[in-house]
Chain A
């Protein structure tokens, strides 16, 4: 902050991430609208509150331990080193509060930590937190209309403040062990957010079971009609709008990448490898376009799958959208959405998995496929500016995809959901589910309304 350029860089970076956070808030607004739209009339208030309340629950958990996990777990620990020291990220650090970067008062915080993190810690924390909400929201849609809110929030904390953060530390940081050892590349989080959250949702659905009446006696699924298509459409458009912020938040806006060749400022990915906002904007739009087209095509114009297709297209191409040509983004997105759509219905028929919003398909399958495909298209590219890190390879990406979907996604949620089920606190009782989750509220409202009408008539 003591030179004009230094001050400009810091203040611009601080403002840049602040803007991304505001944009990303739209993702959550969109998820709420979308989920409530998909739910039936009798369940809409419960659906809204289940999703909305993951905001405060994940936020405090992420403050207490999520942010620290991201920095401390980058070596595994035990693969490329031990737990990393990150005194700016602990819940009692002075750098988590208002700070000007001067002399620190805590012995664990160095003067250099204070100077580096004082202004950026909060906005970085918030940007990561919004990713955490997204991870939680991905689960939320899949399990609507039968999960208990308390159990869901616990699972949302597990994914939003623990498992995705560990995935991020391993594969979505400039020195994560997956990047160092396997050249894992996942620029816009196809794997660390979407595959991981999709795998988590699948594990929860396995124990939770389908909604009452979802499958006929012969095993064929019934359509459970959404109560408000417009809410779904507006919600999806908001998610797309927020996704711009997500893409921007995945970049470092202004960094000298010139090294020994002199100063050269550029935007970079989280791996500090160069890219441009221009390139990722075009690729975002081309993958969105491909997703929409294929979604519309395979579903014969179904509105729900067309919008979901757009989202799935972006998610599939995201792993390599920092480097792809727009045509490559388009083709990868098209392949991803086609595969996810087919897989969704195959899994639904075969295993009687009731994924109310297709979250496992659009996030899980598209994200996993996107990570794997990036290994082929970016084969041999350096994964980092640091010499000695493994390059990007198909096998590195495939191992990374399996770790994200199964290792950090499916397995932890499978265990915790099993425990919640055994404790009898996972699923809403059958009678209440049939009557509707808002049954008690609506009954009281009807009673009050009738009483009010009688009172008005007799007045």
Chain B
């Protein structure tokens, strides 16, 4: 059976073995996927914080207001 990597048998000369991981030659694509995930996470974090703090401030202000009214 053909493997996803360059290794098809562990009985060869280990000194000749180069990369052992699968999908050799696709490093750029893999890097791009990881980079997109990380960037998306940071963008989500900035948006989430902005939204969350806005709603918390609104909640705290209205709680303060109703306390004053009572």
Is the pair A101, B53 in contact by a Cβ cutoff of 8 Å?
no
Which residues of chain B in 2-48 are interfacial with respect to chain A, using CB atoms and an 8 Å cutoff? 6, 14-21, 24-25, 27-28, 31, 34-35, 38, 42, 45-46
Query: Which of A146-154, A287-295, A324-332, A377-385 is the contact stretch?
Result: A146-154
Which A residue sits closest to B23, measured CB to CB? A97
Whether A102 contacts B57 in the complex (CB less than 8 A), given A60-B34, A425-B49, comes out as no
Count of A-B residue pairs with CB < 8 Å: 84
A99 engages B53 (CB within 8 Å): no
A100 with B38, Cβ < 8 A, contacts A431-B61, A432-B57 known? no
Cα–Cα distance between A429 and B61 once the two chains are bound (Å): 12
Measured between beta carbons, the chain A residues less than 8 angstroms from B66 are none
Chain A residues with CB under 8 Å of B61's CB are 431
B53-70 interface bits toward A, Cβ cutoff 8 Å, 1 = contact, 0 = none: 100110011000000000
Which of B34, B35, B56 sits near A439, CB closer than 8 Å? B56
B53 and A105 contact, CB distance less than 8 A: no
Q: Are B18 and A100 in contact (CB under 8 A)?
A: yes
Asked whether any CB of chain B lies closer than 8 Å to the CB of A278, the reply is no
Please name all residues of chain A whose beta carbon is closer than 8 Å to the beta carbon of B19 when the two chains form the complex: 94, 97-99, 105
A contact residues around B17 at 8 Å (CB)? 100-102
Look across to chain A and name the residue whose beta carbon is closest to the beta carbon of B43. A150
> Which of B15, B24, B31, B53 sits near A102, CB closer than 8 Å?
B15
Q: Does A93 contact B (CB under 8 A)?
A: yes
Closest to B53 in A: A429
Q: Which B residues touch A206, using CB under 8 A? A: none
- Is the CB of A64 closer than 8 A to any CB of chain B? yes
Residues 143 to 164 of chain A near chain B (Cβ within 8 Å) = 148-150, 153-154
A246 to chain B, nearest CB (A): 26
A1 within 8 Å of B by Cβ? yes
Residues of B within 8 A of A153 (CB): 42, 45
Q: Which of A411-459 contact B (CB under 8 A)?
A: 425, 428-429, 431-432, 435, 439-440
Question: How far does the Cβ of A394 sit from chain B's closest Cβ, in whole Å?
Answer: 43
Residue A92 at the chain B interface, CB threshold 8 Å: yes
Provide the residues of chain A in CB contact with B46, threshold 8 Å: 150, 425
Q: How far is the CB of B35 from chain A (nearest CB, A)?
A: 7
Q: Report the minimal beta-carbon distance from B45 to chain A, rounded to whole angstroms.
A: 4
A101 interface neighbour in B15, B28, B31, B42, Cβ under 8 Å: B15
Contact with A92, one of B21, B31, B53 (Cβ below 8 angstroms): B31
Closest to A53 in B: B45
Residues on B with beta carbons closer than 8 Å to the beta carbon of A60 = 34, 38
8 Å CB contact of B57 from A94, A148, A431: A431
Q: Which residues of B contact A431 (CB under 8 A)?
A: 56-57, 60-61
Partner of A98, one of B20, B34, B35, B53: B20
A260 within 8 A of B: no
Bound-state Cα–Cα, A1 to B24, Å: 24
Min Cβ gap A401→B in Å is: 33
A447 smallest CB distance to B (angstroms): 13
- A104 near B: Cβ within 8 Å? yes
Within 8 A of B (CB), among A52-108: 57, 60-61, 64, 91-94, 97-105
User: Provided the pairs A97-B19, A149-B49, A425-B46 are in contact, do residues A105 and B24 lie with their beta carbons within 8 angstroms?
Assistant: yes
B21–chain A nearest beta-carbon distance, Å: 4
State whether B49 touches A150 (Cβ < 8 A). yes
Instruction: Decide yes or no whether A114 CB sits under 8 A from chain B.
Output: yes
Would you call B27 and A93 a contact (CB within 8 A)? yes
Known interface pairs A57-B42, A429-B56; 5 further A-B residue pairs with C-beta atoms within 8 A, sorted by A's residue number: A94-B19, A98-B19, A100-B17, A425-B46, A429-B53
Instruction: Enumerate 25 A-B pairs (CB-CB under 8 Å) in ascending A order.
Output: A2-B15, A57-B42, A60-B34, A64-B31, A91-B27, A92-B28, A94-B18, A94-B27, A97-B20, A99-B18, A99-B19, A100-B18, A104-B18, A105-B6, A105-B25, A149-B45, A425-B49, A429-B53, A431-B61, A432-B53, A432-B60, A435-B56, A435-B60, A439-B56, A440-B52
Q: Interface on A for B, CB 8 Å cutoff?
A: 1-2, 57, 60-61, 64, 91-94, 97-105, 114, 148-150, 153-154, 425, 428-429, 431-432, 435, 439-440
